[in-house]
Amino acid sequence: MSVGEKLWAEVPKLRKIWEELKSPDKEVLSKFSSPQEFIDWFKAYADPVLQFHYVIGHEWGATTDVEGVRSWLRQGVWNEWAAASDVARIVTEYRDYIDTEFMTMLAQQISDEGRHLYLRSKILKAFGGSMEGFQPIKEWVELFELPFVCAPKNMKYFQIRATSTLQVVELTSVYHHRGVHDTLPKNKRLMEGPYRSATLMLQESFREIEDDELFHWSIAERVWMKYAKDPEMRAEILDCAAEALRVSTEARVRRVELAERKAI
């Protein structure tokens, strides 16, 4: 059984989590004494999904080869461009719905994503790859369209709904990239071959990217701390956060599956 097949077999076990988050019990949303308590509850409830994102990265990093890395990175380069585009669109097209308190943080995220795009492109080149002929995986297209599908369903709460989509994806990325980082040194096909220096460059990049992703997730935490003070607001948050968990999980497993087949 391939790594992709093994990972897909685990996905159904997680569906209950995002389904329950999307349709939460009103009594549950009323029990929190503070936004911080709600945030802590969300992270604990979503933890099995977050840990699975670590497993996705760990399993891929342990088994991939040079061609698999090239394939995986091609999607990664596009993802950084798409993330920068998403945040830029939020602060321009939807600027009237964004709390000015968070504008500088979102501007910083755009800058970070641009730097990640440069890093990914540089590492892809070091592995002998390019973006020629690339077409993004449909699940990733869906993921980066999600903020503009979920958030506008209730424009009154656009800010918290958009943040609860894109920045929740950033939280899953923290776990995923830790998984790759932790296992790459054990991959002999990469570490003992002619692309050892490129592999070390890839591993080291995750340290920098993870710091940024933690900051991006903190934007959601700060928004939630300000607004998640009642059950109605918390339900709006979970409506989009649950979708972000679902689509990001499916997109990551598909990426591993296709990278394994060198089909990206």
CATH number, domain with residue 114 = 1.20.910.10
Average pLDDT, the chain: 97
Mean pLDDT of 161-189: 96
* Of the candidates 174, 166, 157, the residue with the CA atom closest to the CA atom of residue 89: 166
> What are the phi and psi torsion angles at 111 (to 5°)?
-60, -45
pLDDT band at residue 233 under the 50/70/90 scheme: very high
Residue with token string 């977050």 = 50
Structural domain boundaries, residue 228: 32-260
pLDDT exceeds 90 at position 215: yes
Predicted local confidence at residue 207, as pLDDT: 86
Structural domain contains residue 14: no
Mean pLDDT of 19-27: 93
Could you report the per-residue pLDDT of 84-125, keeping only the tens digit for each? 999 999 999 999 999 999 999 999 999 999 999 999 999 999
- If one counts the domains in the chain, the total is 1
Structural domain contains residue 5: no
pLDDT band at residue 193 under the 50/70/90 scheme: confident
Structural domain contains residue 10: no
Structural domain contains residue 3: no
Could you report the per-residue pLDDT of 119-144, keeping only the tens digit for each? 999 999 999 999 999 999 999 999 99
Q: Which residues contact 18 (CB under 8 A, 6 or more apart)?
A: 49, 242, 243, 245, 246
